Protein backbone atom coordinates (compact mmCIF):
# COMPACT_ATOMS: atom_id res chain seq x y z
CA UNK A 1 0.00 0.00 0.00
CA UNK A 2 1.44 3.37 -0.99
CA UNK A 3 1.28 6.59 0.96
CA UNK A 4 -2.13 8.29 0.68
CA UNK A 5 -1.91 12.04 1.39
CA UNK A 6 -2.10 13.31 4.96
CA UNK A 7 -4.92 10.93 5.86
CA UNK A 8 -2.97 7.80 5.00
CA UNK A 9 -4.52 4.48 5.91
CA UNK A 10 -1.28 3.13 7.42
CA UNK A 11 -2.50 3.43 11.04
CA UNK A 12 -5.77 1.72 10.06
CA UNK A 13 -3.81 -1.02 8.34
CA UNK A 14 -1.75 -1.47 11.51
CA UNK A 15 -4.85 -1.75 13.68
CA UNK A 16 -6.43 -4.29 11.34
CA UNK A 17 -3.30 -6.41 11.19
CA UNK A 18 -2.90 -6.40 14.95
CA UNK A 19 -6.56 -7.19 15.50
CA UNK A 20 -6.25 -10.09 13.08
CA UNK A 21 -3.32 -11.32 15.14
CA UNK A 22 -5.47 -11.11 18.29
CA UNK A 23 -3.33 -8.38 19.76
CA UNK A 24 -5.14 -5.77 21.84
CA UNK A 25 -5.15 -2.35 20.23
CA UNK A 26 -6.70 -0.41 23.10
CA UNK A 27 -3.46 -0.20 25.06
CA UNK A 28 0.21 0.54 24.42
CA UNK A 29 1.53 -1.93 21.88
CA UNK A 30 4.98 -1.75 23.46
CA UNK A 31 5.74 -0.96 27.11
CA UNK A 32 8.10 1.93 26.41
CA UNK A 33 9.82 4.01 23.75
CA UNK A 34 13.53 4.70 23.93
CA UNK A 35 14.54 7.40 21.46
CA UNK A 36 18.07 8.40 20.47
CA UNK A 37 19.63 10.54 17.80
CA UNK A 38 19.38 14.06 16.44
CA UNK A 39 17.04 17.01 15.86
CA UNK A 40 14.49 14.90 14.00
CA UNK A 41 13.63 13.25 17.33
CA UNK A 42 14.93 15.65 20.02
CA UNK A 43 12.06 16.77 22.28
CA UNK A 44 14.02 19.23 24.35
CA UNK A 45 17.33 17.85 25.60
CA UNK A 46 19.23 20.66 23.90
CA UNK A 47 17.29 23.16 26.01
CA UNK A 48 19.67 22.18 28.81
CA UNK A 49 22.91 22.42 26.83
CA UNK A 50 25.21 25.34 25.93
CA UNK A 51 24.55 24.94 22.22
CA UNK A 52 23.21 27.13 19.41
CA UNK A 53 20.99 24.29 18.23
CA UNK A 54 17.87 24.96 20.27
CA UNK A 55 14.18 25.31 19.44
CA UNK A 56 12.70 26.38 22.76
CA UNK A 57 11.35 29.72 21.56
CA UNK A 58 8.63 30.90 19.16
CA UNK A 59 7.66 30.28 16.43
CA UNK A 60 8.77 26.71 17.11
CA UNK A 61 5.93 24.83 18.78
CA UNK A 62 3.25 27.29 17.71
CA UNK A 63 0.96 24.39 16.68
CA UNK A 64 1.98 22.07 19.52
CA UNK A 65 0.05 21.52 22.75
CA UNK A 66 -0.84 24.89 24.32
CA UNK A 67 1.04 26.49 21.41
CA UNK A 68 4.24 26.36 23.43
CA UNK A 69 7.79 25.68 22.17
CA UNK A 70 9.33 22.58 23.76
CA UNK A 71 12.63 22.19 21.98
CA UNK A 72 11.16 20.26 19.05
CA UNK A 73 12.42 21.52 15.70
CA UNK A 74 8.93 21.75 14.29
CA UNK A 75 5.77 23.82 14.43
CA UNK A 76 4.05 20.88 16.14
CA UNK A 77 4.59 17.16 16.62
CA UNK A 78 7.52 15.09 15.42
CA UNK A 79 7.04 11.86 13.48
CA UNK A 80 8.02 9.95 16.63
CA UNK A 81 5.34 11.78 18.65
CA UNK A 82 2.71 10.75 16.13
CA UNK A 83 4.07 7.20 16.08
CA UNK A 84 3.81 7.08 19.88
CA UNK A 85 0.16 8.12 19.71
CA UNK A 86 -0.57 5.47 17.09
CA UNK A 87 1.05 2.87 19.36
CA UNK A 88 -1.32 3.81 22.18
CA UNK A 89 0.78 6.19 24.27
CA UNK A 90 -1.18 9.01 25.89
CA UNK A 91 1.94 10.98 26.76
CA UNK A 92 5.40 11.22 25.25
CA UNK A 93 8.63 9.84 26.78
CA UNK A 94 10.33 12.81 28.48
CA UNK A 95 13.55 14.45 27.39
CA UNK A 96 16.10 12.76 29.62
CA UNK A 97 17.76 16.01 30.75
CA UNK A 98 14.42 17.60 31.66
CA UNK A 99 12.92 17.75 35.17
CA UNK A 100 10.09 15.51 33.90
CA UNK A 101 12.46 12.55 33.48
CA UNK A 102 11.91 11.15 36.94
CA UNK A 103 9.83 8.64 38.87
CA UNK A 104 6.93 6.94 37.12
CA UNK A 105 7.35 9.13 34.04
CA UNK A 106 10.28 6.87 33.17
CA UNK A 107 8.06 3.80 32.90
CA UNK A 108 7.06 4.74 29.35
CA UNK A 109 10.66 5.29 28.29
CA UNK A 110 12.88 8.30 27.72
CA UNK A 111 14.20 10.47 24.93
CA UNK A 112 17.98 10.92 24.78
CA UNK A 113 18.19 12.63 21.39
CA UNK A 114 20.10 15.84 20.84
CA UNK A 115 19.81 18.22 17.89
CA UNK A 116 22.98 18.28 15.74
CA UNK A 117 24.22 14.93 17.06
CA UNK A 118 25.60 12.37 14.63
CA UNK A 119 27.00 8.86 14.41
CA UNK A 120 30.42 10.47 14.42
CA UNK A 121 31.07 11.79 17.92
CA UNK A 122 33.16 14.57 16.40
CA UNK A 123 30.02 15.93 14.75
CA UNK A 124 28.31 16.08 18.13
CA UNK A 125 31.30 17.63 19.91
CA UNK A 126 31.63 20.31 17.23
CA UNK A 127 27.97 21.25 17.66
CA UNK A 128 27.95 20.93 21.47
CA UNK A 129 25.33 18.19 21.21
CA UNK A 130 24.98 14.96 23.17
CA UNK A 131 27.00 12.35 21.29
CA UNK A 132 25.55 8.89 20.67
CA UNK A 133 28.24 7.54 23.01
CA UNK A 134 26.95 9.82 25.76
CA UNK A 135 23.36 8.94 24.91
CA UNK A 136 24.25 5.30 25.54
CA UNK A 137 25.77 6.27 28.89
CA UNK A 138 22.60 8.15 29.79
CA UNK A 139 20.61 5.05 28.82
CA UNK A 140 22.62 2.96 31.26
CA UNK A 141 21.87 5.56 33.92
CA UNK A 142 18.19 5.42 32.93
CA UNK A 143 18.16 1.64 33.41
CA UNK A 144 19.30 2.07 37.01
CA UNK A 145 16.66 4.72 37.65
CA UNK A 146 14.00 2.49 36.11
CA UNK A 147 15.07 -0.36 38.37
CA UNK A 148 14.60 1.85 41.42
CA UNK A 149 11.14 2.96 40.24
CA UNK A 150 9.83 -0.56 39.53
CA UNK A 151 12.29 -3.40 39.99
CA UNK A 152 9.76 -6.04 38.90
CA UNK A 153 8.78 -4.43 35.60
CA UNK A 154 12.13 -2.93 34.67
CA UNK A 155 13.60 -5.98 32.88
CA UNK A 156 10.49 -6.56 30.76
CA UNK A 157 10.26 -2.85 29.95
CA UNK A 158 13.86 -2.80 28.68
CA UNK A 159 13.42 -5.98 26.63
CA UNK A 160 9.98 -5.09 25.25
CA UNK A 161 10.63 -1.42 24.52
CA UNK A 162 10.80 -0.09 20.99
CA UNK A 163 14.10 1.69 20.35
CA UNK A 164 14.04 4.42 17.69
CA UNK A 165 17.23 5.96 16.33
CA UNK A 166 17.69 8.88 13.93
CA UNK A 167 21.19 9.97 12.91
CA UNK A 168 23.48 10.67 9.99
CA UNK A 169 22.04 13.87 8.54
CA UNK A 170 24.14 16.12 10.77
CA UNK A 171 27.25 14.10 9.95
CA UNK A 172 26.89 14.95 6.27
CA UNK A 173 25.15 18.31 6.27
CA UNK A 174 26.78 19.97 9.26
CA UNK A 175 30.15 18.25 9.18
CA UNK A 176 31.27 16.52 5.98
CA UNK A 177 29.95 19.00 3.41
CA UNK A 178 31.31 22.05 5.26
CA UNK A 179 34.59 20.59 6.51
CA UNK A 180 37.31 20.84 3.83
CA UNK A 181 39.73 18.73 5.85
CA UNK A 182 37.19 15.93 6.09
CA UNK A 183 35.96 15.94 2.52
CA UNK A 184 39.51 15.95 1.20
CA UNK A 185 40.37 12.83 3.19
CA UNK A 186 37.16 10.89 2.45
CA UNK A 187 34.94 10.58 -0.57
CA UNK A 188 31.24 10.75 0.40
CA UNK A 189 31.02 6.98 -0.07
CA UNK A 190 34.04 6.39 2.16
CA UNK A 191 32.67 8.68 4.85
CA UNK A 192 29.35 6.86 4.65
CA UNK A 193 31.16 3.57 5.18
CA UNK A 194 32.93 5.04 8.19
CA UNK A 195 29.59 6.11 9.67
CA UNK A 196 27.99 2.73 9.03
CA UNK A 197 30.83 1.10 10.94
CA UNK A 198 29.97 3.33 13.91
CA UNK A 199 26.29 2.44 13.45
CA UNK A 200 27.06 -1.28 13.67
CA UNK A 201 29.04 -0.85 16.88
CA UNK A 202 26.27 1.34 18.31
CA UNK A 203 23.62 -1.32 17.64
CA UNK A 204 25.82 -4.00 19.21
CA UNK A 205 26.23 -1.87 22.34
CA UNK A 206 22.50 -1.15 22.51
CA UNK A 207 21.79 -4.86 22.08
CA UNK A 208 24.24 -5.60 24.88
CA UNK A 209 22.26 -3.27 27.12
CA UNK A 210 19.06 -5.21 26.50
CA UNK A 211 17.51 -3.70 23.35
CA UNK A 212 15.77 -6.24 21.11
CA UNK A 213 13.46 -4.13 18.92
CA UNK A 214 15.35 -1.37 17.12
CA UNK A 215 14.11 0.89 14.34
CA UNK A 216 16.64 3.15 12.61
CA UNK A 217 15.81 5.81 10.05
CA UNK A 218 17.71 6.04 6.80
CA UNK A 219 19.05 9.32 5.54
CA UNK A 220 16.43 11.60 3.97
CA UNK A 221 16.98 13.17 0.54
CA UNK A 222 19.55 15.64 1.86
CA UNK A 223 19.68 17.50 -1.42
CA UNK A 224 16.00 18.40 -1.18
CA UNK A 225 16.32 20.28 2.11
CA UNK A 226 15.66 23.98 1.44
CA UNK A 227 18.95 24.91 3.11
CA UNK A 228 20.83 22.50 0.85
CA UNK A 229 19.21 24.03 -2.24
CA UNK A 230 20.15 27.52 -1.05
CA UNK A 231 23.69 26.89 0.14
CA UNK A 232 24.85 24.20 -2.27
CA UNK A 233 22.41 24.30 -5.20
CA UNK A 234 24.33 26.97 -7.12
CA UNK A 235 21.08 28.18 -8.67
CA UNK A 236 20.31 24.80 -10.23
CA UNK A 237 16.66 23.83 -10.36
CA UNK A 238 15.42 21.08 -8.11
CA UNK A 239 17.26 19.14 -5.42
CA UNK A 240 21.05 18.94 -5.13
CA UNK A 241 21.55 15.70 -7.04
CA UNK A 242 24.92 14.63 -5.62
CA UNK A 243 23.69 15.03 -2.03
CA UNK A 244 20.79 12.70 -2.77
CA UNK A 245 23.16 10.22 -4.41
CA UNK A 246 25.35 10.30 -1.29
CA UNK A 247 22.31 9.62 0.89
CA UNK A 248 21.20 6.70 -1.27
CA UNK A 249 24.69 5.15 -1.19
CA UNK A 250 24.74 5.49 2.59
CA UNK A 251 21.30 3.94 2.89
CA UNK A 252 22.37 0.88 0.88
CA UNK A 253 25.32 0.37 3.23
CA UNK A 254 23.04 0.85 6.24
CA UNK A 255 20.63 -1.83 5.03
CA UNK A 256 23.45 -4.25 4.31
CA UNK A 257 24.92 -3.71 7.77
CA UNK A 258 21.49 -4.25 9.37
CA UNK A 259 21.12 -7.58 7.58
CA UNK A 260 24.46 -8.74 8.96
CA UNK A 261 23.64 -7.57 12.48
CA UNK A 262 20.42 -9.57 12.54
CA UNK A 263 22.40 -12.68 11.58
CA UNK A 264 24.96 -12.02 14.30
CA UNK A 265 22.73 -11.05 17.23
CA UNK A 266 20.18 -13.68 18.32
CA UNK A 267 16.67 -12.36 18.97
CA UNK A 268 17.35 -8.94 17.48
CA UNK A 269 14.60 -7.30 15.43
CA UNK A 270 16.20 -4.49 13.47
CA UNK A 271 14.36 -2.42 10.87
CA UNK A 272 15.81 0.32 8.70
CA UNK A 273 13.02 2.79 8.04
CA UNK A 274 13.22 4.23 4.56
CA UNK A 275 12.49 7.93 4.91
CA UNK A 276 14.30 8.88 1.70
CA UNK A 277 11.54 7.79 -0.67
CA UNK A 278 8.52 9.05 1.31
CA UNK A 279 10.06 12.52 1.70
CA UNK A 280 11.33 12.57 -1.88
CA UNK A 281 7.88 11.63 -3.18
CA UNK A 282 6.25 14.43 -1.18
CA UNK A 283 8.82 16.98 -2.37
CA UNK A 284 8.44 15.93 -5.99
CA UNK A 285 4.63 15.78 -5.95
CA UNK A 286 3.47 17.94 -3.03
CA UNK A 287 -0.06 18.47 -4.34
CA UNK A 288 -0.66 14.70 -4.24
CA UNK A 289 -0.33 14.96 -0.46
CA UNK A 290 -2.20 18.22 0.04
CA UNK A 291 0.82 20.53 0.16
CA UNK A 292 1.37 23.74 -1.78
CA UNK A 293 5.07 24.42 -1.07
CA UNK A 294 7.98 21.96 -1.01
CA UNK A 295 10.99 24.07 -1.96
CA UNK A 296 11.19 26.35 1.07
CA UNK A 297 10.25 26.25 4.73
CA UNK A 298 7.45 28.10 6.48
CA UNK A 299 9.69 30.06 8.85
CA UNK A 300 10.89 33.37 7.41
CA UNK A 301 11.99 33.13 3.78
CA UNK A 302 12.31 29.38 4.30
CA UNK A 303 15.62 29.25 2.44
CA UNK A 304 18.20 29.11 5.24
CA UNK A 305 16.24 29.66 8.46
CA UNK A 306 16.80 27.30 11.38
CA UNK A 307 17.73 27.85 15.06
CA UNK A 308 17.39 31.10 16.97
CA UNK A 309 19.49 33.38 14.75
CA UNK A 310 17.35 32.94 11.66
CA UNK A 311 14.09 31.28 12.66
CA UNK A 312 12.59 33.31 15.47
CA UNK A 313 9.55 35.35 16.41
CA UNK A 314 10.73 38.30 14.34
CA UNK A 315 11.52 36.32 11.19
CA UNK A 316 9.81 38.23 8.35
CA UNK A 317 7.51 36.37 6.03
CA UNK A 318 6.75 33.35 8.19
CA UNK A 319 3.73 31.56 6.76
CA UNK A 320 0.37 31.61 8.51
CA UNK A 321 -0.59 28.03 7.67
CA UNK A 322 2.20 25.48 8.08
CA UNK A 323 -0.02 22.62 6.88
CA UNK A 324 0.56 23.86 3.34
CA UNK A 325 4.35 23.47 3.69
CA UNK A 326 6.40 20.27 3.54
CA UNK A 327 9.14 21.97 5.57
CA UNK A 328 8.73 24.00 8.73
CA UNK A 329 12.17 25.59 8.63
CA UNK A 330 14.92 25.18 6.05
CA UNK A 331 15.92 21.76 7.38
CA UNK A 332 13.04 20.15 9.30
CA UNK A 333 9.62 18.88 8.16
CA UNK A 334 6.38 20.48 9.26
CA UNK A 335 3.98 18.55 11.50
CA UNK A 336 1.83 17.89 8.42
CA UNK A 337 4.79 16.27 6.65
CA UNK A 338 5.69 14.40 9.81
CA UNK A 339 2.22 12.84 9.75
CA UNK A 340 2.85 11.48 6.27
CA UNK A 341 6.25 10.25 7.43
CA UNK A 342 4.83 8.65 10.59
CA UNK A 343 2.33 6.69 8.52
CA UNK A 344 5.22 5.29 6.52
CA UNK A 345 7.19 4.45 9.67
CA UNK A 346 4.25 2.56 11.15
CA UNK A 347 3.71 0.60 7.93
CA UNK A 348 7.41 -0.32 7.78
CA UNK A 349 7.75 -1.12 11.48
CA UNK A 350 4.97 -3.67 11.99
CA UNK A 351 7.59 -6.45 12.25
CA UNK A 352 9.08 -4.75 15.31
CA UNK A 353 5.87 -4.73 17.34
CA UNK A 354 4.23 -8.00 16.36
Active-site residue, from 8, 38, 39, 344: 39
Q: Is 39 a catalytic residue?
A: yes
Give a three-class secondary structure readout of the chain. Answer: CCCCCCCCCHHHHHHHHHHHCCCCCCCCCCCCEEEEECCCCCCCHHHHCCCCCCCCCCCCCCCCHHHCCCCCCCCCCCHHHHHHHHCCCCCCCCECCCCCCCHHHHHHEEECCCCCCCCCHHHHHHCCCCCHHHHHHHHHHHHHHHHHHCCCCHHHHHHHCEEEEECCHHHHHCCHHHCHHHHHHCCHHHHHHHHHHHHHHHHHHHHHCCCCEEEEECCCCHHHCHHHHHHHCCCCCCCCHHHHHHHHHHHHHHHHHHHHHHHHCCCCEEEEECCHHHHHHHHHCHHHHCCCEEEEECCCCCCCCCCCCCCCCCCCCCCCCHHHEEECCCCCECHHHHHHHHHHHHHHCHHHHC
Q: Is 148 a catalytic residue?
A: no
Integer Cα distance of 311 and 296 in angstroms: 13
- Other C-beta atoms within 10 Å of 196: how many? 21
Name which of 98, 89, 236, 212 is nearest 157 in CA terms. Answer: 212
Active-site residue, from 329, 334, 343, 344: 329
Active-site residue, from 332, 334, 343, 344: 332
Chain Cα centroid distance, residue 153: 27
Name which of 320, 351, 353, 349 is nearest 334 in CA terms. Answer: 320
Q: Is 151 a catalytic residue?
A: no
Q: Give the residue numbers marked as catalytic.
A: 39, 329, 332
Amino acid sequence: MGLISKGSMAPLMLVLLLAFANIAVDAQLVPALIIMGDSAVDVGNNNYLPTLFKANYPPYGRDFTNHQPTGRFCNGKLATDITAETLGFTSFPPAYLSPQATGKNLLIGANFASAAAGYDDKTSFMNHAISLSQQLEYFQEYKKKLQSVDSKQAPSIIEGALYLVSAGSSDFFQNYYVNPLLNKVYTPDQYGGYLVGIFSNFVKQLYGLGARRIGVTSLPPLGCLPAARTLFGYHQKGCVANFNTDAQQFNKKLNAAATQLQKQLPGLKLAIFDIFNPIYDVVKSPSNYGFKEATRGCCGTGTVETTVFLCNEKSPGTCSNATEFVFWDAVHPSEAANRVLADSLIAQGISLIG
